[in-house]
Structure 1
């Protein structure tokens, strides 16, 4: 009797995502926001919202997010140390970093330029007379000089505890270079880090196998809280941003990949499916970072010496999705308040948002901080941000999916240009499948 074949991880995650959205929408229909449904039992009554939504969905969803975030710091540090040690010439780091940062800035500039053009073409705020019921207080963004100063950790252990990604990257690079220059002692340390990297990647595989449950609970809980009334009022703005995000992710990135590498972009998009679903569910590039790194190295063939640097850097400074939101939001707010912007002001929006994608890296609420900076730069009221907050949660999920796709695309381009790329792995449909298949009944049998 043949054993029934288990569905692939991708199918299980997509099924969980769709089921979560449907269950959450059904619960909101049965229990509008602010209302509850009580099931009477023999000894006590059970609150559906308290037990299921705020209980089961919230606990499982947040445990899943915490489990992913748990891996970020050790994965980035260990992978980057391994990658730096493996470079035969550490001077390559400057060239790799220069290529990555240039590509990230170029894609961000393209993103916001296209977003502004699309928003002006469709005019989502034309004729809208809305009054914000809430105000938005923007945090003060640090200066560019302060950002560079803060990149260097005073206490690396404090950086680990706070999850300050730029400081962790800098310390890992310095530690990796010192290890590579330390002869036999460095070789022993490098060997330990290589083993640690294998263990951490296996832990990523374990988390990916429980991902469908986390994805279901996250989306089921979210869609019980999305206000459909607010969404209806801003449907045109939402669709413009969503459409721009889809075009950037499905057209711009594949075109750049084809131009710079000659690789088939369809293969790239297929291998990004799991990562995109993770990013959409978590709304966090940092939380998705372990999955992004596993996809880039184990499925796309980028060597760890490249991916261990470009992927964490992209999760920190690459904000194409946020740039698209800023472009559309700027036009929308200007039209709502009946203020016309000049060509020079639009150019200022593009420049400010592109540079701010690096300048505000690592700051909480970075998307809204950047938008506040852009609005102030062109003289638009910052309180206009309150108009779009209602639908921003759903857009944030899509922005994150676009951002991680950009991180992976840049990693492939840099890896290919540096001859740190396995073309056979890229074209292998089953590449990376082994790490996703965990036999929890025969743990000792997992031999490499």
Structure 2
């Protein structure tokens, strides 16, 4: 009896990309007709984005017991937000300096939907974070306003549930979120077809020259990830005085798991076990910080979105001012709160943030060819930053067993 070979979603997307390139180069006139298939795929992803973002953020915040929002959890949330915004900022700096989007020709690719935002005052930018009508924000797809509403709603939900001991609404929300994630997962099963159509139509118009420069984007993204991890390790060793060689060795298995699976959820059991048994982080810290980190701390996602938005802008020859770059950093940080735990999460994330800057959603197709490598980089930074955060919190709360840390090797 022959055993069926199961190809991962990333593998299917990679195959689809290769086939799309071949068809686009071989059947140029025919491939242009495939664009409608790709457009339908993108719209199917977008139709659930607002509900996905709202549900994930409300559930993450609503799960926190504000009545027991003690010193440790306050420290955790501060570290999460600070590290995510620094990751997004570092990614933006790398792209601004090295400009991976320059030299990528998009002549022939749709650019008539580009809306370059006009410069606004700082007070206007801040005030626009807050919605006056959440339904209007949802209909316009204003993600930042939706996230701000979701955070406030989540705080109110948490206060209500934990003060009345009635969790029915939170439980219903969790079930609803599972349905939305299932819907996105079902849509992502046709991702290879959608990516094939988008790549084939783009290659048919532009040729192979549009794909090859993506390697520069990937190299810069990889460099940004590695240097940010080094920054994290330096912070940990300086603050805690732990040996950095032991730190790297004790995190090796979980880091390899993150790279191999490209999934934070799949890596979580190994991450939790090694954090306690190799790094010496005590249960009371590891369980809380790592569990919260799954939804509230996504350094890799924040960096990915920041880098990609600016790269796309460079591809289309759009230049932003400093204020807009800072808005992008904040947008990427807030959007990372809604990091989707589904196959092809990188594509889902881009569908959230790209339209917010008035950039063509079709540009997402250009990044499909490096999706698997992007997933590796996103995941290792997401996972390792959660662990680093738990070490910092443990250090502040006498939660590290140094004997375990040094004797586990």
Sort the TM-score into its range (normalised by shorter chain). Answer: 0.5 to 0.7
For residues 273-292 of structure 1, the aligned pairs below 5 Å read: 273-292=252-271
Q: Which residue number in structure 2 is paired with residue 244 of structure 1?
A: 224
1:154 equivalent among 168, 186, 192 = 168
| Contact kept in structure 2, 1:320 and 1:403, CA below 8 Å | yes
Q: For 1:304 and 1:361, how far apart are their aligned partners in 2? A: 25
Q: For 1:349 and 1:107, how far apart are their aligned partners in 2? A: 16
Ranked by relative contact order (alpha carbons within 8 Å, sequence separation 6 or more), the top structure is 2
Q: For 1:345 and 1:265, how far apart are their aligned partners in 2? A: 37
Q: Which residue number in structure 1 is paired with residue 298 of structure 2?
A: 319
The number of residue pairs the alignment matches comes to 291
2:148 equivalent among 144, 161, 165 = 144
| Contact kept in structure 1, 2:225 and 2:381, CA below 8 Å | yes
Q: For 1:334 and 1:156, how far apart are their aligned partners in 2? A: 39
The Cα of 1:409 is off from its aligned counterpart by 0.5
Check 1:99–1:367 CA distance in 2 against 1; reply closer, same or farther (3 A cut). farther
| Contact kept in structure 1, 2:346 and 2:375, CA below 8 Å | no
CA deviation vs aligned residue, 1:158-186 (integer Å, no higher than 9, x gap): 6777786xxxxxxxxxxxxxxxxxxxxxx
Q: For 1:313 and 1:116, how far apart are their aligned partners in 2? A: 26
Superposition TM-score, scaled by structure 2 size: 0.61
For residues 167-186 of structure 1, the aligned pairs below 5 Å read: none
2:324 equivalent among 342, 345, 363 = 345
| Contact kept in structure 1, 2:293 and 2:386, CA below 8 Å | yes
The Cα of 1:288 is off from its aligned counterpart by 1.2
Matched, 1:112 2:88: yes
For residues 16-415 of structure 1, the aligned pairs below 5 Å read: 93-130=69-106, 141=143, 142-147=146-151, 149=153, 154=168, 232-249=212-229, 251-358=230-337, 360=338, 367-368=346-347, 370-372=349-351, 374-415=353-394
Q: For 1:128 and 1:303, how far apart are their aligned partners in 2? A: 49
| Contact kept in structure 1, 2:340 and 2:349, CA below 8 Å | no
Q: Which residue number in structure 2 is paired with residue 58 of structure 1?
A: none
| Contact kept in structure 2, 1:134 and 1:386, CA below 8 Å | no
CA deviation vs aligned residue, 1:198-217 (integer Å, no higher than 9, x gap): xxxxxxxxxxxxxxxxxxxx
CA deviation vs aligned residue, 1:223-248 (integer Å, no higher than 9, x gap): xx9x9x78634111111111111111
Unmatched segments (≥5 aa) in structure 2: 1-6, 21-62, 114-137, 159-166, 179-195, 201-207
2:395 equivalent among 397, 416, 419 = 416
Check 1:134–1:317 CA distance in 2 against 1; reply closer, same or farther (3 A cut). farther
Q: Which residue number in structure 2 is paired with residue 444 of structure 1?
A: none
| Contact kept in structure 1, 2:339 and 2:349, CA below 8 Å | no
The Cα of 1:298 is off from its aligned counterpart by 1.0
What is the SS of the residue equivalent to 1:232? coil
Q: Which residue number in structure 2 is paired with residue 10 of structure 1?
A: none
Deviates more, 1:237-246 or 1:377-386: 377-386
The Cα of 1:376 is off from its aligned counterpart by 4.2
2:404 equivalent among 422, 425, 428 = 425
Q: For 1:288 and 1:159, how far apart are their aligned partners in 2? A: 25
CA deviation vs aligned residue, 1:263-298 (integer Å, no higher than 9, x gap): 122211111111111111221112211111101111
| Contact kept in structure 1, 2:261 and 2:267, CA below 8 Å | yes
| Contact kept in structure 2, 1:116 and 1:328, CA below 8 Å | yes
| Contact kept in structure 2, 1:345 and 1:378, CA below 8 Å | no
| Contact kept in structure 1, 2:101 and 2:314, CA below 8 Å | yes
Q: For 1:295 and 1:316, how far apart are their aligned partners in 2? A: 20
What is the SS of the residue equivalent to 2:168? coil
Q: For 2:98 and 2:92, how far apart are their aligned partners in 1? A: 10
Q: For 2:356 and 2:214, how far apart are their aligned partners in 1? A: 24
Unmatched segments (≥5 aa) in structure 1: 1-19, 35-79, 85-89, 165-224, 431-448
Deviates more, 1:336-345 or 1:375-384: 375-384
| Contact kept in structure 2, 1:231 and 1:390, CA below 8 Å | yes
What is the SS of the residue equivalent to 2:70? helix
